[in-house]
Structure 1
Amino acid sequence: MAEASKKRLTGAFKLAAVAISGALSFTAAQAQSNYPNKPIKFVVPYSAGTTTDVIARVYADKLGKVLGQNVIVDNKAGAGGNISAESVARSAPDGYTLTFSTSATHATNPALYKNVSFDPIKDFTHIAMMVSAPNMLAINPKIPVNNMAELIAYAKKNPGKLTYISAGSGTSPHMAGELLKTMAGIDIQHVPYKNINQGFTDLFAGTVSMTFYHVPVIYPHVKEGRLKALGVATSERSPIAPEVPPISDTVKGYDLRPWWGLAGPAGMPKDVVDKLYAATTQVLADPEVQERFKNLGLIITPMTPQQFNDFTVTELAKWSKIVKDSGATAN
C-alpha cells in the first residue's frame, strides 16, 4: 500500500475513534442526565417487619414519587446485614441499586466478623445520612426485676442465666447488650435470630429473657403488657416513651444510637449522587415523612455525602474499639 494511502487510512481510523469516543461520552452523559429512567432497587439488609424495613418502605415510597420512578424494596437478610451489603458493593455503580448503610453493616460488622468481604468505606458511595433512633431494653414480665439496678443485681447473682435477642450478630441490639455487659460487669447471653419475629415470639413466651430493640418496634408490646421496659439506650428519653428512663441513669456513660443512611456502590457518577442527595433531602423535609418518623421514635439527622462519609469513618473506628473491648464475636 502506498505511503499516502496508509496515512489516509490511519487518519480515518483516528477520526472514527474520536467519533465513537464522543458518541459514547454523549450517551453516558445523556443516560446520567436522564436518571432515573428505570425502576430503582433498594436492598434492605434485614427481614420484613424490622425497623430498618419500616424506614426503608416509608423512604422508598416517597423517593419514588420525588424521582418519578418505582423504588422496589428488596429484603436480603443474613449474616447481620453483610449479605445485603456485599451484594450492593458488587453492583454496577449506576444509581439503580441502593441500600441503607447502617451502624451494623458499616460500623460494627467489619470488626465483629472475621471474613467481611467488603470495605465499608472504599466499596461504597455514602450519599446521605438520614435517621437515628434509640434502642429500648425490655424484658419478659416473668423476670423478677423492675428497673436497671435490679436487673444488674439479678444478672450478677445469676451469671449466664439471662438471654437477649437480636436480628443477628453486629446489629445494634446485639451491640447494646455487649456494651451493657462490659460497662455493668454482668454476664448475659446473646441469642441471634435470622427471623426476628420468631425471636419476639420466644421472648413473649419467656423462652428468652429480654431484648435491646428499637423503640418503634418494641414499645407497642410494652404498652400491651407483653414486655416490661427498663430503659432506653440513649442519654435522653425517647419522645414516644418519655416515662422510660435512660439506662445511663444507672450505668453512667451508656449511650448507643443505631443509624441509617443512603448508600450505593463505590464510583457512582457525581450528578447521580447529587440528584439522590437532593431527592433524599426533599423526602426528609416532607411533613408527612417527618410525622411518620417522629411517631416511630426516629430522629432525622441529615448529612451531606462528605459529612456522611466522614461520620462513617468515625463510627467504624469507635465501634471497632467497643467490639474489641467487649470480646464480642459473630455467632
Structure 2
Amino acid sequence: MLLIAMVGAGYFPELLRAQPAKGKIGYLHPVTINPNHITFSVLAGEWRRLGYVEGETVLTRSGEGDPQRLPELVRDLTGKGVGVLIAVGAQAVRAAASGASSTPIVAFDLETDPIQAGLIRSVARPGGNVTGLFLDTPVLAAKWIQLMREMVPALDRVAFAWQPSAGRSQLDVALRVAENLGVETTVLEFSVNDDFPSLLSAIAGPKRTGIIQLSGPGITPVAEKFVAAATQINLPTLSFLGEAARRGFLMSYGPNQRDYFPRAVQLADRILGGEKASELPVERPSKFEFIVNLRTARALNLVVPPTLLVSADEVIE
C-alpha cells in the first residue's frame, strides 16, 4: 500500500519512464537525417518512446545524396558498436548487407524484392542477418493503375517516375503488371535534384498521361516541386506515400506511414533484446490509405468520381 501511495504521489519517477535502451541503433539514410523528414520523424518518435536517445543510443548518418559515401558510413556505424543497423532505401540496404555481414540489419526498403535480391531466404524466416520492411509491389502496382484509370477516364498511358538508384525490381514489376492490364507505359527516369519542369515536358503532348511515382528515398522533400511542374502541364500524379498527396499530389495509395514505419524500430529493439534477425519475419504493411487532393483535381480540371471520394481515407479540400 505504501509503494502504491508513493508512486501515486510522484515517487520513483523512473518507474513511469520508458525502459533504458538495450544497446545502440545505427540509422543510415542515403539522402537526409533532417528531423522534419517523414521517415526520420516517425522513426524518431518510436525510438524515443522505447527509451533510445539520439547521439547516445541512436547514431544517425546520411549519405547526403552521394551513394559512394554509404559504405564508409556503414563502417563508421559498425565501428562505433551499434548492435543493429536500420538502413533506409535500396542503396543503403545494399551497402549495409555488403559491409556489415556480422551486424543485424533492419532493412527499410520499399523498392526491392528481398528474396530475388538475395537478402533473405523467405519472408517468414529470413535466415541471415537481414530482416525488415518490404512492400508487395505487384498488388500495389495494380491498385495504382486502377486508381489512375478511374480518376482519368481518358487516360492513354502511364508514366512510371523511377529513380535508377533504387534498382529495377519495383519498376520491372510495375511494367509487367501494366502490360498484363493492357496499359501503355513509359519510364521517366529522375533524381531528386532534377529540373522537374524540363524533365516532365518530355512526356507532355497529345497523349493523356498519368504519372505514377515509384518509391525511393528523398521523394517527400521535393514533392511540392515535382507536382507543381506536373500540374503546370496538366499531368495528374499518384504517389505511394500519403505525405506526397498532402503536399500536392493528386492521389496517393500505399501503407499508412505512421502505422507501418515504426515497425522498423520495433524490430531493431527486439534484436537488441536478444532475438535473431534470421528468425524475425519480414514486416509487410497491414494498413493502406488512399488520399485524394481536391485542390489539385480542380487545378487539373478533373471531376473526381464519387466512387473515389467515398473510398478515400482522406480528402484534402
Q: TM-score normalized by structure 1?
A: 0.42
Scaled by the length of structure 2, the TM-score of the pair is 0.43
**Greater relative contact order (CA < 8 Å, ≥ 6 in sequence):** 1
Structure with greater proportional helix content: 1
